[in-house]
Structure 1
């Protein structure tokens, strides 16, 4: 329960008191969502619950505690340590990362300048995503990712919320530290959304291994090039590639001799092949290993592992 005490302290006094009464293992918590004038919602182990004033979980929205605008304002004051201006740069991306690596997503009125979001005000919804490390969750795929002493270019394909970031994080840790499948490698991580390292004030809150260099809150394409120039990584890891600049950066990194670990949203390799830029990577057989996830029977389930030719290696 100590872990839960750490992250519920960011909420307004009233909501903090409610959440402290919730009888649930903090290891199962995934999200806590506040919307002005709407029910307090909690997601755990892939299921959604409404939370009552007494801290009970219910499927009946009419019994749920309703979040007020003032409680959202008070929560944001705690999150930003009473200095929203100091966190303006992070808010432009729609989230703040707090101690423990937990991510606080926000939406409201976006303030734009020259076609780009400059800041966020009148925040009306807060979504706290609870960071979890699952050490060893990559054990089953490591023989295919790093078998025979080398690291293969690997793409994790997964629908949203199926554990791809958690899996990638553990792959990074194991490759960085080294083990029975490969010796330790220098890994450069471009963590655009602060989800892999969960960095707080520049310090990763999640264990990414002893040989890992983390570039936090940096666009993926730009970050990959920066790491190549400055840190000479043997492996580069990025979460959620997709844009044209991302694809070109991946190709450049491969041509520079770096091994690539990446994730992408999708339901399978056929889904990826239908997308112009990603399909090119598949056609050129850049990736040597594809790991496909699904959420049938729980988050983070491996559907299969495929080689660069689409042959099934693991089911």
Structure 2
């Protein structure tokens, strides 16, 4: 998978990346290329700068600095030498390439009528590595089941960027489509028809409309389609039982999810949020939460190299939001130590028309659900392959 991605890189960068230790390449999450600034990689919750001699370490001053020619060559590879062909993607600030890898772009914006028309003078690239981690949702999925309806609850997955939302969402779609429920009670259920709106071509990584990631046998994908429009297209044309969408947040996204709910379709979606309180601070998400739409909220957190999943039903989510002064700040850097002092965020007022402490009318009370913790050991307990006498040799 990485070989094809590396082929898009300018030769000097490609050579340095290809020489990285296999243990590092196996954990690559990001490659950051910035004109005349040090070449940076993110891997396994850590980061390093790559030196011209192929070694790597934490000192940015000695890192290889991609030239203007390097950046120009990379942009031409990403756009297949035709900026016009990907004008819409440039306007949104990213390009998705084969394999579902998304390359974020930074440069000078060109405005038209006060809105971004496209990007020019692009000098920054963030290559986000897409990987399928089959089975990563196996411990989580049983906690999301609606056993009376023999399917999943409406679920919202929350975390800051680069915490694994899309990877988890992809595997949930596969498991629901395959009937891989990982619960004895659901052994006879079978899979459900799943529809995915893949606006950024990251979930399925379609090539000519065919998913390159395993999404199970009962899954249909609308590739490169805006979520708000695509959700209703799927409901009307493909009769899904579960719809999946990534990174909701706009009012039109929320309205489409609401229509899908009223059409009898279950929803699994993700959104950027540092904690539960952020749901109630974002107008589109707050409206859905106040209506009791989501039966389950999943919070993802990675800090100190450790992944934690916490699951709440709608009543518990609001209660946890109110007493979050005792919770760890979810927006802590991923490499922050586990004993980072806890903060006491400001209290969030109750929703309009609701008495303090009251739960949503539509929310069913349930016993507290324990957090799901990753079976992987903390990265801090593992040796760093790049740390060897001031920087590992590739």
Do they fold alike, i.e. is TM over 0.5?
A: yes
Q: Over the residues paired in the alignment, what is the CA RMSD in angstroms?
A: 1.9
Distance in 2 of aligned mates of 1:115 and 1:273? 29
Matched residue pairs, number?
Answer: 312
**How far does residue 275 in structure 1 lie from its aligned partner after superposition?**
3.0
The answer as to whether partners of 2:161 and 2:272 remain within 8 angstroms in 1 is yes
What whole-Å deviation, never above 9, does each CA across 1:49-77 have from its counterpart, x for those lacking one? Answer: 11001221111111100111110001122
Equivalent residues of 2:45, 2:304 under 8 A apart: no
Shift of 1:121: 2.4
Q: Which residue of 1 aligns with 2:308?
A: 301
Residue in structure 2 matched with residue 185 of structure 1 by the alignment? 192
Residue 206 of structure 2 contacts residue 223 of structure 2 at CA under 8 Å; is this kept in 1?
yes
Mapped pair 1:236 → 2:243: yes
Alpha-carbon displacement from aligned partner over 1:113-171 (angstroms, at most 9, x marks no partner): 34443433221111111111111110111112235322211111212221111111100
Give the aligned partner of residue 84 of structure 2.
85
* Alignment correspondent of 2:333: none
Shift of 1:297: 4.4
1:32 match: secondary structure: strand
- Between the aligned partners of 1:174 and 1:34, the Cα distance in structure 2 is 35
Tell me the residue number matched to 2:104.
Answer: 105
Which residue matches 1:202?
A: 209
Structure 1 equivalent of residue 48 of structure 2: 49
User: For structure 1, which segment, 256-265 or 20-29, has the greater mean C-alpha deviation from structure 2 after superposition?
Assistant: 20-29
The worse-fitting range, judged by mean Cα deviation, of 71-80 and 30-39 is: 71-80
Q: Which residue of 2 aligns with 1:130?
A: 129
The structure-2 alpha-carbon separation of the partners of 1:96 and 1:202, relative to structure 1 and needing over 3 Å to count, comes to farther
Residues 120 and 264 of structure 1: CA distance in aligned 2, closer, same or farther (over 3 Å): same
- Other-structure match for 2:256: 249
Q: Name the residue aligned to 2:12.
A: 14
Q: CA deviation at 1:219?
A: 1.9
User: What CA deviation, in whole Å up to 9, does each residue of 1:220-269 have, x standing for no partner?
Assistant: 11111111122121111111111211111111110000100011122332
**Aligned with 1:39: secondary structure?**
strand
Q: Please name the residue that 1:314 is paired with.
A: 370
Comparing 272-281 and 121-130, the one that deviates more: 272-281
**Alignment partner of 1:40: what SS?**
strand
Q: Does 1:285 align with 2:283?
A: no
Segments of structure 1 that go 5 or more residues without pairing to the other structure are: none
> After the TM superposition, which of the residue ranges 151-160 and 275-284 deviates more from structure 2?
275-284
Q: Distance in 2 between matches of 1:296 and 1:75?
A: 32
- Give how far 1:24 is off: 4.1
By how many angstroms is 1:208 displaced?
1.7
Instruction: Give the distance between the partners of 1:247 and 1:124, measured in 2 at CA.
Output: 34
Q: Give TM-score scaled by structure 2 length.
A: 0.75
* 8 Å contact kept, 2:176–2:192: yes
**TM-score, length-scaled by structure 1:** 0.92
- Between stretches 45-54 and 277-286, larger displacement belongs to 277-286
C-alpha distance in 2 between matches for 1:111 and 1:207: 38
Aligned to 1:158: 159
Whole-angstrom distance in 2 between the partners of 1:277 and 1:17: 45
Tell me the secondary structure at the aligned position of residue 309 of structure 1: helix
Seen in structure 2, the aligned counterparts of structure 1 residues 50 and 138 have a Cα distance that, compared at 3 Å, is: same
Matches of 1:166 and 1:172, distance apart in 2: 10
1:267 is the counterpart of 2:274 = yes
Q: What is the aligned partner in structure 2 of residue 68 from structure 1?
A: 67
The CA distance in 2 between the partners of 1:55 and 1:24, in whole Å, is 14
